[in-house]
Amino acid sequence: MNARLSRTLLRSALAASLACLGLGGIAHADVTVISFGGANQAAQDKAFYQPYTASTGSRVIAGEYNGELARVSAMVQAGNVTWDVVEMESPELVRGCDEGLFEKLDYSRIGKTEDFLPEAVTPCGIGIFVWSTAIAYDADRLKEAPRGWTDFWDVNKIPGKRGLRKGAKYTLEFALLADGVPPEKVYETLATPAGVSRAFAKLDELKPHIVWWEAGAQPPQLLAAGDLVMSSAYNGRIAAARKEGRNLRIVWNGSIYDLDYWAIPVGTRQRDEAYRFIAFASRPEGQRVMAEEIAYGPTHKDAVGGMPAELAADLPTAPANLQGAFATDTEFWVEYGEDLEQRFNAWALR
C-alpha cells in the first residue's frame, strides 16, 4: 500500500470517528424530543426542530404526550429509555428530579444562566417558555366577556357546558377563585383540609356542566364546535386558533402562569445529542420564532428584543395580562400533588 493511499484511508477512518462522536461539523445522531403536541409542537417544529436539522444534519424525531411523569419513570426504572429530551411542567419536573428520573443539567453545555429568567434555571430543567391557563370563550356566542371564575361557575347567568382540565392541578385553584378566595390566598387555603374540602364542594356545584379535557388541543376544538360555551385553556392554543380565523378570546383575570422546561431522562443513549438540542433550542433567535408562532413568553432575556409590540401584548408576560394573574406554586404541587390527584380521580369517578 503506497503512502498516499494510507493517508487517504487514515483520513477516512478519522472522519468516520468524528461522525460517531458528532464533532467537527459532521452530522450528529438523531434526537427524540417529546412535547405536548398540537399547536405547541407545530411551533416547536418551526422554531427549533427544522432549524436544528438544517444546522446539524441531525433529525429530530418528534413525539407527544400529556405530561405523565409515570411514563418517564417506567422507562427509567426498566432501563429502556427511548426519549432523549422531554418537555415538562414545573411540578412534575421537580418531583422527577427529586426521584432521580432526570439528569442534573450541566449549564456550561447550554448557555449563560444570567441570560435567562431566574425561574427558568433549575437543577434538572431549563425553561422553554412562560404560559398561562386562563378562561377562553367563543366571542361569536358570548357578546359579553366573562369577568372571571365566578362567572365561569354561574350557569344561570351564562348557560352551557364548561371545559376544565381533567386533574387536580389548576382545577382546584380555579374552584377556590370562583368561591371568592383571593389569588394571594389560594395556596394557603388549599394547604388545609378545610380548603381542599371547600374546593371540591365548589366543583360539586359545577360537575353536571363540566366537559373534561386532557390534551391542550381540545379546548379550542370543543369551543369551535359549539360543544362548550367557555373553557379553561392554554393561552397559546387559543392564540393559534385565532390565527386560523376562530373568534376565540382570553380572559386573563384569574389566570395561572407557569413555565415549561426541557429535561433529559436519566439513561438516554443520546445524552450528548440531547444537550446539543437543548442548547440550540435555548438560543434567543429560536425562542423569538416560537413566540411568533404561539403566544408563549420567551425565557431568554434577549428574545424579547425586537419583538413587535402587538405580539408582546398577547403574551402571558405582558403587564396588562398579569393583572389578576398569579404564578403556580410549584413547591405546593410537589408536596401535595400526588394526594390531591388521587382524591380528584376518586371524586371524578363518583
Report pLDDT digits (tens) over 98-145. 999 999 999 999 999 999 999 999 999 999 999 999 999 999 999 899
Reading the block at residue 193, the C-alpha cell is 383540609
E strand or H helix that includes residue 158 = none
In three-state secondary structure terms, 70 is helix
So what's the pLDDT on residue 27?
Answer: 53
Q: Are strands 210-213 and 162-165 parallel, antiparallel or unpaired?
A: parallel
pLDDT class of 7 with cuts at 50, 70, 90: very low
So what's the pLDDT on residue 5?
Answer: 37
So what's the pLDDT on residue 57?
Answer: 95
- CATH class in words for 133-257+317-349: alpha beta
Q: What percent of the chain has pLDDT over 90?
A: 80
Q: Quick one: average pLDDT of 190-207? A: 98
In three-state secondary structure terms, 257 is strand
Q: Are strands 326-327 and 126-138 parallel, antiparallel or unpaired?
A: unpaired
Q: CATH 3.40.190.10 spans which residues of the chain? A: 3-130+260-312, 133-257+317-349
pLDDT class of 4 with cuts at 50, 70, 90: very low
Window from 192-206, 265-279, 287-301, 310-324 with minimum mean pLDDT: 310-324
Window from 11-15, 55-59, 201-205 with minimum mean pLDDT: 11-15
Type of residue found at 118: P
Query: Greater confidence, 342 or 13?
Result: 342
- CATH class in words for 3-130+260-312: alpha beta
pLDDT class of 313 with cuts at 50, 70, 90: confident
Q: Quick one: average pLDDT of 301-327? A: 87
Burial 161-176 (b: 16+ CB within 10 A, else e): bbbbbbbbbbbbbbbb
234 with 130: CB under 8 angstroms?
Answer: no
Q: Are strands 85-89 and 248-263 parallel, antiparallel or unpaired?
A: antiparallel
In three-state secondary structure terms, 122 is coil
Angle (nearest 5°) at CA 287 between 286 and 292? 95
Q: Give yes or no for residue 16 having a pLDDT over 70.
A: no
So what's the pLDDT on residue 124?
Answer: 98
Q: Give yes or no for residue 24 having a pLDDT over 50.
A: no
pLDDT class of 336 with cuts at 50, 70, 90: very high
So what's the pLDDT on residue 323?
Answer: 87
Q: List Cβ neighbours of 211 (8 Å cut-off, separation of 6 or more).
A: 161, 162, 163, 164, 222, 227, 228, 231
